[in-house]
Amino acid sequence: MKTAIVILNWNGKKLLEQFLPSVVNFSENEAEVYVADNASTDDSIQYIQTYYPSVKIVKNTTNGGYAKGYNDALNFIDADIYCLLNSDIEVTQNWLTPILEVFKNDKNTAIIQPKLLDFKDKNKFEYAGAGGGFIDLFGYPYCRGRVFNNLETDTGQFNDTTSIFWASGACMFIRSKVYHNLDGFDEDYFAHQEEIDLCWRAQNEGYQIKYVGLSTVYHVGGATLQESNPHKTFLNFRNSLLNVVKNVPKQWFLFVVFSRLVLDGIAGLKFLLELRPIHTLAILKAHLSFYANFFKFLGKRRTLQKKSNYNLHTSIVWQYFGLGRKKFKDLH
């Protein structure tokens, strides 16, 4: 299978200097490396051309964020498998082999995520994807190895290959035919949780999403948009609500939407009590944007709801805050 590793870049020369070497060194002979540049104004392109002439460059004309950036670039990349890789990830030796083996042996597997560990503390799982993602009853995402902000130590408990609900966009492998048949990422998300929507839609079409724990990468996380940034809070809350409107089946739709609005209000109050009013304001803005986009996404929903993969789970909010269950193995 022809594999392309595609790193999305926007003014990220420092990250490329730090992390591109591992990608080039540990992907040789197994994949071609591309940088999809989102109209950078620094000297990222010159750096790549000077020091890594084997890396191919796709120049996007605008900075359309994660979703549009990849949609634009992947139209110009010929491969059977795309690896969408954040610029702040260090890969490891033989990281590609176990993943490509699963693709070869299971034709129905469309998307794969490796184990994501924290670059700053390599014994810990990383927030963005950890050991593979899931969705709770109300559309809140969580991971094996990460429930809300609680990060587990990696002791080999997730060294398996298993089905998951969503794969992290920090390092996501996807069959090119599936990506294009699904029309790629939804560009209205701009960034954050568009990978959950893509995985949800892939499952609705009968494809499998898998996690392969024998492949490991280390993710800095927050290198582009830090956790403390209120714009990240805005995107996460708004896009999670848009996922609900777009993908939750009709028998649960009104219940889940109403419950989410209430729970988000409680989250806003929590931020206020923690003296972080800027994040409360970000949630308010997220809801206003959600209302503004509601009917647009309702229209998208009508084109998608021929079938919906939505396995009913308990509330992760109740399990974490109500019952104090903070590890994946303790969840029911």
- The CA distance from 201 to 38, in Å, is 26
Q: Quote the pLDDT of residue 230.
A: 92
The strand pair at 208-219 and 109-118 is best described as: parallel
CATH superfamily of 3-219: Spore Coat Polysaccharide Biosynthesis Protein SpsA; Chain A (3.90.550.10)
Residue intervals of the chain classified under CATH 3.90.550.10 are 3-219
Q: What percent of the chain has pLDDT over 70?
A: 95
pLDDT in tens, 147-173: 998 999 999 999 999 999 999 999 999
Question: How many other C-beta atoms lie within 10 A of the C-beta of residue 234?
Answer: 21
Mean pLDDT taken over the chain: 93
Q: Which residues of the chain have pLDDT under 50?
A: none
Contact 79, 98 (CB under 8 A): no
pLDDT in tens, 101-112: 999 999 999 999
Q: In sequence order, which ranges of the chain are alpha helices (DSSP H)?
A: 13-25, 44-51, 65-74, 97-105, 176-181, 194-204, 230-247, 250-273, 277-304, 316-317
Three-point CA angle 53, 56, 60, nearest 5° = 130
- The CA distance from 215 to 4, in Å, is 17
Q: At what angle do helices 250-273 and 230-247 cross, to 10 degrees?
A: 160
Q: Quote the pLDDT of residue 301.
A: 84
- The CA distance from 327 to 151, in Å, is 8
Q: Quote the pLDDT of residue 305.
A: 59
